[in-house]
Each structure stands twice: as C-alpha cells, then as structure tokens.
Amino acid sequence: MREKLRQIKIPVIYTFARSGGTLINRCLGCISGNIILSEVNPYASLVPIEVQAHDWFKLVSSSDFSDFSKRTYADKIRLLSEAARQQDSHLIIRDWTTINFLNKASDDYTPSMVLEQELYLERYRFNIYPIVLARRSADVYESLTRTFKNFHNLSIKEFGNCYLAYVQKVLTYPLFHYENFCLEPQKELKRMCDVLGVNYSNAFVTEFSKFTYCTGDNTLFKQSRGAQLSKITVMESNQESESYIAASLDENCQQADRLLGYENMEIEKQVHAFWRIVEVRDQALTKANDLRHQTQVELEQLQSQLQQTQAELERSQSHLQQSETDRIEHLTVIEQLSEQLQQSEADRAARLTLIEQLSEQLQQTQTELALSQAQLQQTQTELALSQAQLQQTQTELALSQAQLQQTQTELTQSQSIIQAMARSKFWKLRTILFRLKKVIGLPTDA
C-alpha cells in the first residue's frame, strides 16, 4: 500500500494565517483542472474534508459520504486524488498551518510546533510538491490581532516565538512573497503553478473574485479589506498601529523576516528598481528610435503630401482668380439686375396706380353702363310704342291713301260728270243763274 501511495503526487501550499493564503486559494481554484482542499490538516480542518469533497467539488457522492467520513486522513487524500485524476484535475492541499504553531487556533489542540502535514504525508509516502507563501511578520501580527476575536490579546512575545518556529520549518521549501505576488500576480502565480505542477491560466486575474469554494477572508463574519477587492492589489500596511510597531521591534519577528528574505528584498527592490529604470530607459530608447523612424516616414509622407498640396494650392489659386473674375462679373450682372429690379418695381408701382385708375374708371363706366342700360331699356320700350304707333299710323295712312285714292277716283268721276254737265245746257243755265244772283245780291246756295 505504501509503495503505491509513494507514486501519488500531492501539491501542498504552506501559509500562515493572514499571509494571503485565501487569495492564492481563490486564484488557483478558479482555474479549470485545479481542486484545492482549503485549510485541511491531519489533526483537524476548518471545514471537514468530506464536506468540501461532497458539497464543493462533487468528488464524493451522497451514498458514499458516510463511509468516506470514517476513513483515515491518508485514505481520504488517496481517494480524492484518484477522483480528481479521473476528472483530469489536480488535487491540491492548502495546509491549515496555523493550528500546528499558534495556541488558540483550535480550542482543544496544543500546537506541536512542527509541520504535521509534511510528517503525515511523508509517513504514508505521498510524493509532495510544497511551496510557501510568506508575508512580513508585522503585517501578519497586526492583521491577526485585528481580525480574530480569540487573538485580540495575543502577545507579541508569543506570536514572535511561534512565527519564528514556523519560518524555520518551511525554509527548505520554494518561497513566494505575498507582496511580490500582489505586484506581479500573473508572473508569480505562473511560477507557483510550475513548482506545484498544476494548471495555469491568465484568466484568474478577473475570475478569482467569483470563486468562493474556500475558507478564509470570504467566510469571515465581517469581511476583511482583501475579501472586498475584485482586483489584486497590495494592501497598505497599518504601520501606525501598536501591534504593527510592536512586531517591527520584536527580535523574533525581525529574525523571521530575515530568514524569509525581507531584508534582502529591500536590496532586491532597489536592484529591481534600478534594472526597471534601465528597462524603462531601454524601452523609451527603443520607442524613441521607433518613433524617429516612424516620424521620418511620416515626414516623407508629409513632404509628398506638401508637394501635392502645393500643386493643389496653385490650382486652387488659379481657380480662385478665375472665381474672382467670375464673381466681379456676377456682381456687375447682379447690379444690373438690381437696377432692372428697381425699374421693374417702379413700373409695377405705376402699373398698380394705372390699374387703380382703370379700376375706378371701370367702376364709373359700369355705373354709366348700368344707367345707359336702363335708358336703353326705356328707349326700347318707347321705340316699341313708337313702332306700334307707326304701324298704326301706317295702317291709318294706308286707309287714308285708299280713301284718297277712292276720293280721287270719285273726284275724277265727279269731274267727268261735271265736265259732262257743264257741257250740258242745264249746267250752263245754272251757271248763268248763279252769276245773276251774285249780281243782284241774292244767296248763291243751291
């Protein structure tokens, strides 16, 4: 059995409380193919292994849950590693390191001051791939005493002793600093994944805050500053707090920081800053050369465009001169048209006056025409009467002419008779008688 277990590879993350373990847990856990048992230990776990395996990762079925819970720690790790492998995933252990070194981390456990995870897994011949995530001791102590009620009265002496003991136990493992990770998360997590032999993806930078299947900041009653962040960033140290100052002055904390390389980190920071300046200068020089080349190309293009623009300008000036001539001609035409318009306006006004006069004359003529029509109607009536009288007169004239003609006929006849009578002896005697009466004065009436 132990020979078989020797072949099982188990990546392990050692990190003291308040050293960034939850953040690394979330960053690794959100990457597909990574399954992290969060803060588990052979003695005890914040959340039991079987609960995490069943509720979070579905590595244990409900029917197998009871039997799985009764197995030893080694059997649980072996079965879960095999289940993860069948899912083409890596099983990773995030050790609950604090319980082995700090009193009151668990109510019924006295710290052993050794890495029990290491001892237990090596005893059962697991092939472990460990890394250590460290943080400056003053930040760890200040955060512990501020965050957890059971550590409010934790003395700096007790913390310094246990923290130095922890650091001395993990010195032989690949070391990563929380502060460096926050500055360059992609670079540092890629290094961690390479050492652990697990999956890596750049997507963790935006996806880590969505991952909740772990213990730590995200399970606190009152969320810490780091748990509320959606972007990985360096948390500012509370350097003015009493606990931070006390840890900074404690000899054990100072020794722990030296062993973790924090003094060297200051020099490394300066060297890194120097090379960063050189790198930035080189990049700036490269950019300047690129910019100079690009500027030269753009200058040549601009010169070509300038020549083209000059030619276009000359053409435009020629067109402008022609346009100016055309404009003057247009202005002359406009002035002539304006004069014509003014004359037309005067003619229009005269026509309007004439139209008004003609309108008055037309109105007067219409009035006179109405009178003339009335007179004409009266004249026509009188003419009709005159025509009737004329017709009657003509009729009477015709009658008179007929009578006259008849009278003339009768006269002619009478003259003929008279002439016949005159020629007669009687008439002659009568005539002599009338003459005799006239001479003697007698009446001549017949």
Q: Are 125 and 6 in contact (CB under 8 A)?
A: yes
Q: How far apart are CA 158 and CA 258, in angstroms?
A: 19
Q: Averaged over 185-205, what is the pLDDT?
A: 98
Torsion sign, CA atoms 106, 110, 113, 116 = negative
Q: What is the pLDDT of residues 365-392, one digit of tens each?
A: 888 888 878 888 888 888 888 888 888 8
| pLDDT over threshold 80, residue 214 | yes
Alpha-carbon distances, residue 182 vs 20, 24, 33, 165, 248 (angstroms): 10, 10, 23, 26, 22
Q: What is the pLDDT of residues 330-359, one digit of tens each?
A: 788 778 877 887 887 888 888 888 888 888
Number of other residues whose CB lies within 10 A of the CB of residue 424: 11
Q: How far apart are CA 330 and CA 318, in angstroms?
A: 18
* Residue 223 three-state SS: coil
Residues 6+ apart with CB under 8 A from 147: 18, 220, 224
What are the φ/ψ torsions at residue 111 (nearest 5 degrees)? -55, 140
Residue with tokens 């009035």: 367
Q: How confident is the model at residue 157 (pLDDT cuts 50, 70, 90)?
A: very high
Alpha-carbon distances, residue 113 vs 117, 217, 284 (angstroms): 12, 24, 52
Percent of the chain with pLDDT over 70: 89
Q: Averaged over 90-114, what is the pLDDT?
A: 92
Lookup: tokens for 1: 């059995």
Residue with tokens 């100079």: 292
Domains in the chain: ranges and CATH: 2-260 (3.40.50.300)
Percent of the chain with pLDDT over 90: 51
Q: How confident is the model at residue 277 (pLDDT cuts 50, 70, 90)?
A: very low
Q: What is the pLDDT of residues 218-272, one digit of tens each?
A: 555 455 555 567 799 888 999 999 999 999 999 999 999 999 999 865 544 443 4
Q: Give the per-residue pLDDT at 187.
A: 98
Q: Give the per-residue pLDDT at 227.
A: 57
pTM above 0.85, yes or no: no
